[in-house]
Structures are given as structure tokens and as C-alpha cells.
Amino acid sequence: MAAHMRTIPQEMFDIISFRKGQEVTPECDSIGCTIGICTVLDSKPLPMKSYGAIDFHTWSIGFTGIDDDERDWCFAPDWIDADNTPLGAALRIEWLLDHGLPEDMDSQINGKAPLCYTPKK
């Protein structure tokens, strides 16, 4: 997922929106978040909600094997103000794999602490 996110241009990314077309299938070339964008990496059918929309939450748990705090660190829409970038999403995934969750995760997500995955100035 991190490698794929590094290929996504900023104008195609928004941490708040899964994808356009989420009622049936994600549309190619539409703005989406990490989860919505990365569904293309899975060859299995996407799980659907009873009313016909894609169940992105269930898909992300099954595809990544993570939930709760790890999921929030990588994918939470709360990143909207602190780091709403595809590169940031890639760097958070890599940080989680290499270091685990940072102790000040919530402060970073809310923009109240420096991001641990960016180069120090």
C-alpha cells in the first residue's frame, strides 16, 4: 500500500473521501483516501453493505490485518489538517511497519505534535 500511495498525485487524494462511485465500485481516476485508492490492489471482490455500498472498513481490516489504533494511525480522516497527503499516508504505513505506533500518535494526528515520519529540520 505504501508503494502504491507514493504513485498517487496530490490532486487525486483526500483523506476524508473513500472514493467516488462507492455505491457499487470505486471509479478509476476519482479522488479518494488511502483505503479507497488501495482497493485496486486486491484481486478479491470487495465486501458490500446490505444496502449496496462498498464496506470499506471491513475491506481494510481484511486486507491489512490491522484495526483500531493502527488503522487510525494509517488511515484516519482526522489527518485532514495535519497531513492530508498521499506521501504522508505512505510514510505512516512505513513508520508503523518499521517502528510501531508512536506514543504521541493522537497528538500527531491532531496537529499538536511534530510528525515523527518527516525529516527533522
Q: What are the structural domain ranges in the chain? A: 2-109
Rg (CA), the chain: 14
What pTM, to 2 d.p., does this model score? 0.87
| C-alpha cell of residue 30 | 476519482
DSSP class of 113: S
Where is pLDDT greater, at 100 or 49?
Answer: 100
Where is pLDDT greater, at 83 or 25?
Answer: 83
Averaged over 12-19, what is the pLDDT?
81
Position 49 confidence tier, pLDDT thresholds 50, 70, 90: confident
| C-alpha cell of residue 120 | 527533522
Exposed/middle/buried for residue 26 (C-beta within 10 Å: 0-12, 13-18, 19+): buried
pLDDT at residue 31, rounded to an integer: 65
